[in-house]
Structure 1
Amino acid sequence: MYLLIVNIVGLILCFTAIGEIQGNIVYIVVLWVIIATPFEIRPIQISEDLQSTLSFAIHLALSVIYGQWVAIVVAAAVTAVTDLYGKKGLIKLCFNVSQFSITLYLTGTVFSHLKQSSSFINLPEDLIAFICASATYILINNMLVEMIIALTQRKSILSLIKRDIRMTVLYYTALAPMSMLMVLLYKEQPLTMILIIPPLALADTSFRHYISLKNETRKTLEILADIVDRKDQYTAEHSKRVARYSNAIAVEMGLADEEKELIELAGMVHDLGKISISDDILRKKGPLSDDQMEVMKTHPDAAYKILNTLKMYKTGALIVRAHHERYDGQGYPQGLKNSEIHIGARIMAVADAYDAMTSDRPYRKAMSSNEAIGEIKRNSGSQFDPKVVDAFIKVLKKE
């Protein structure tokens, strides 16, 4: 039903827009279709199922300069070309044309109702109108797309929006000033707005590099986690469980999706530093001596030195380094306390301790879950953050 409604409304707007195009501006439509198509063919993967392109900057500028009808026709034509080229099918083609038509109609309507000047734009009096039009485009476009993803995959639309909001806002915020620059260049000399194409291409390349770096960082962490797995089979399963518990606690505490992902990844590699510890110590069948314990205590710093080399994982490196800190400041390696310890490390400390206590070790048998929970409760406020302990107990009750 949702798809049907969007398609009906969108296609009505699209055909209305086509009827509004005067013969003397057809060349303008054709020109912008030619300019915009190469950018639309190569979308940027914002998340696993959400893509974006430079079309926002072009659509917004066209809405301001020529009005929403021209913008709708250009968007529809570019979408038709790129979707047919990509063999996305008729259903996706109709939806994409429709959602762009609805988005641009509302964007143009907001701008025309809020603008103060008599010309197509004049600063500073029309700045608020431009900002509101930009916000309208971002909101409507993403709501329409996220809704279809939510319905198709049976996910919560709020969870999808929370997951994608940071990257989406970052991308569009970078493009909005360029769209404004296109408008201002057109106002001075229409042909000069073509000069904005190289900076747009540069922005596109830069954002692709950012996304690529983020993905490569995750892949690197997965490889490092695999190295830990191969070092010690116990550590492998332990790290996976700590990552799972840590994520569950973060969810229970209502942390942002980005923080949850960061903490879960940290859980996967929190024992990475143990690759610097000899097998004689790691696999000793009995309690460690004082000297051996001092060696073991070096593993958080060892992990930090490795992870801190990843530009996009500086915070994750700090979390891993601090996962043996105590809430009362008696932990290691830095003796941090309370809020000085990153929330991710405070969460991981509880998850790590629980799994260690409920797992067999070479020198002792595992505790029961109730015994481990009792131990964690006794150390709440000293070794562990009380809020994290409460959240973890709620997590265990749900399992």
Structure 2
Amino acid sequence: MTRQHVLRFYVALIAALTLGVLGVGVVGVTYLSSQTLIRNLFPAALLIAVSWYGSQRRVLVSESDIWLMGTVGYIATLVLLPFPLAVLAVAASKGLAEATLLAKKQRHSWKGVTVNAGGTILGVAVGGGVFASLNGVSYLWSHQLDSVFALPLLLVMILLYNVTNELVVVGAITLTSQENPWSVFWRLSRAALIPEISLALVGIVFAVLYHSSPIMAAFIVVPVMFSLRAFESVATLRRETVEAVLRMAEHLDFRDTSTYEHSQRLADLTRRLASALELTPEHVEEIVLASRVHDLGKIGISNEILLKQGPLSEEEGDIMRKHPVIGAEILDSYSMFKSSVSIVRHHHERWDGKGYPEGLSGDHIPLGARIIAVADSFDAMTADRPYRKGLSVDDAVERLKAGMGTQYDPKLCAIFIQILMEEGIYAPSEAVPGELHLIAGGRASGGRAS
């Protein structure tokens, strides 16, 4: 069974589980009294509208890192409505949100719709189900000290909602991109957990105010606006931090005039190779960002060594080989570059373990570092330098082939060569060897990387 077949099965499984949850919700609603349904009709409609509107409020953190505000409505819905009705209300608002994204062409795949909607609905079912089964609502609206017991239950609900939602997404990502599941989960959690918890708390405040008096719920506009402004301020700070570090990296241009053009070309080659692996947009952007600052550590290398025309002495080589560590140490001070640290530190490692600084080998080398190693070597070989003329594309490709399995990740190298062929940059004089074709996952015939 191919990876694509497994992915289709996974998406179908998520769809089936989601439909099962909705079916249970429908059955559960039939057990509610008519008075309960009538009493909750308006709140349900209001919460669907609030959740849909929140899902349209998008805070752009980077080109691919976006926070949505729909969690406010989802959590408020779980707190205010009977559990079966809450599940159906969240499903309705999430369905409207996904339909809106499709209409705006911000969602391009039904697989994406299924995974995103399924993750939210399953997260609501798990988190809300535990909260309801433990009588969280009864504790919350109690006028006695019992209401204190609702606080840990609310926290458990929020965490289960987020973890379940993320696990659904992680499954799809790992099947699509072959990334390590734990690495994907950690990356998503690190970026989204605090914002999601804060949004959930706003949702709880909304629910408490609405339960006290529907009119009082209007006052939630103030904390929501403060929350939104806080997110926007954080997003602005993150973008400004990235821009400042990138400008610092570009200062190398004043010392080595070839660095800027190389960095731009490398970022482009890195993006094409990472995208060919069908990584998530977030992961692609992380690797591209790392490629733009991969030589930042050369700031700590003297001009005598950095600009020397000709081979370096053994001592000079030892000093030059420190630049990945220097760069990683600089980037480690910036939260926006945490994912770039290991990539920058290890972009001179070799597949056979003979690289530096730590002699990592094979899959122990971060994926981003392996991608940059291939793209960086190709650009370095084909670019003209003051002391030599660049190699032809054919000669550079032959050197890449010679380094497969020793210097470079053989699969990444093969896929990169296939990209060059598909884009007409490289035209082999003879048919592509079967071994290269298989390693690349069949891209020579237009297939997707497996």
Q: TM-score, normalised by structure 2?
A: 0.57
Q: Which among 95, 99, 103 is matched to residue 147 of structure 1?
A: 103
**Matched residue, 1:288:** 312
1:57 maps to amino acid? V
Deviation at 1:292, TM superposition (A): 0.7
Q: Is the 8 A contact 1:284 1:362 kept in 2?
A: no
* Residue 97 of structure 2 is aligned to residue 137 of structure 1: no
Code of the aligned partner of 2:100? L
CA distance in 2, matches of 1:192, 1:213: 33
CA, structure 1 residues 282+140, in 2 after alignment: closer, same or farther (shift >3 Å)? same
Partner of 1:183: 207
Map residues 100-249 of structure 1 onto 2, 5 A cutoff. Answer: 121-122=81-82, 126=83, 129-149=85-105, 175-176=199-200, 178-179=202-203, 182-183=206-207, 186-187=210-211, 193=217, 200-201=224-225, 203-249=227-273
* Letter aligned with residue 277 of structure 1: I
Task: Give the SS at the match of 1:336.
Answer: coil
User: Quick one: structure 1 residues 55 and 328, their matched pair in 2 at CA, closer, same or farther if it must change by over 3 Å?
Assistant: closer
Pick from 364, 367, 380 the counterpart of residue 340 of structure 1: 364
> Quick check: 1:57 aligned with 2:81?
no
Partner of 2:59: 45
CA distance in 1: counterparts of 2:112 and 2:236, whole angstroms: 21
Task: List gaps (5 residues or longer) in structure 2.
Answer: 1-41, 117-168, 170-187, 424-450
Alignment of 1:310-389 (within 5 A): 310-389=334-413
Local SS of the residue matching 2:383: coil
CA positional deviation for 1:362: 3.7
Quote the residue 1:24 is aligned against: none
Relative to structure 1, is the Cα distance of residues 290 and 55 closer, same or farther in structure 2, using a 3 angstrom cutoff?
Answer: closer
CA pair 135-332 structure 1, distance change in 2 beyond 3 A: farther
| Unaligned 5+ runs, structure 1 | 1-27, 65-110
Encode CA deviations 1:116-156: one digit per residue, 9 max, x unaligned.
xxxx734xxx1x54245335423422431453255xxxx95
> What's the CA shift for 1:382?
1.3
Two-structure CA RMSD over aligned residues (Å): 4.1
Residues 318 and 55 from structure 1, CA distance in 2 versus in 1: closer, same or farther, beyond 3 angstroms?
closer
Q: Which moved more, 1:292-301 or 1:197-206?
A: 197-206
Contact 2:64/2:282 (8 A) holds in 1: no
State the identity %.
33
* Range with bigger deviation, 52-61 or 388-397: 52-61
* Whole-angstrom distance in 2 between the partners of 1:264 and 1:159: 25
Change (3 A) 1:203 1:132: farther
CA distance in 1, matches of 2:385, 2:65: 44
Amino acid at match of 2:381: M
User: By how many angstroms is 1:295 displaced?
Assistant: 0.8
Q: Is the 8 A contact 2:321 2:357 kept in 1?
A: yes
Q: Secondary structure at 1:45's aligned position in 2? A: strand
Shift of 1:184: 5.2
Cα 1:240–1:54 shift into 2, 3 Å: closer
Classify 1:388/1:159 alpha carbon distance in 2 versus 1 (closer, same or farther; 3 Å): farther
Task: Indicate if the aligned counterparts of 1:303 and 1:321 stay in contact, CA closer than 8 A.
Answer: yes
**Deviation for aligned residue 1:175:** 3.2
Distance 1:236 1:246 in 2: 15
How far apart in 2 are the matches of 1:213 and 1:206? 11
Deviation, structure 1 residue 283: 2.0
Which residue, out of 300, 320, 324, partners 1:300?
A: 324
Compared with structure 1, are the counterparts of its residues 171 and 268 closer, same or farther at alpha carbon in structure 2 (3 Å cutoff)?
same
1: CA distance between counterparts of 2:394 and 2:112? 36
Distance change >3 Å, CA 129–CA 224, structure 1 → 2: farther
Does the aligned pair in 2 maintain the 1:231–1:275 contact within 8 Å?
Answer: no
Q: Is the partner of 2:59 in helix, strand or coil?
A: strand
Cα gap change, 1:262 to 1:132, in 2 (>3 Å) = farther
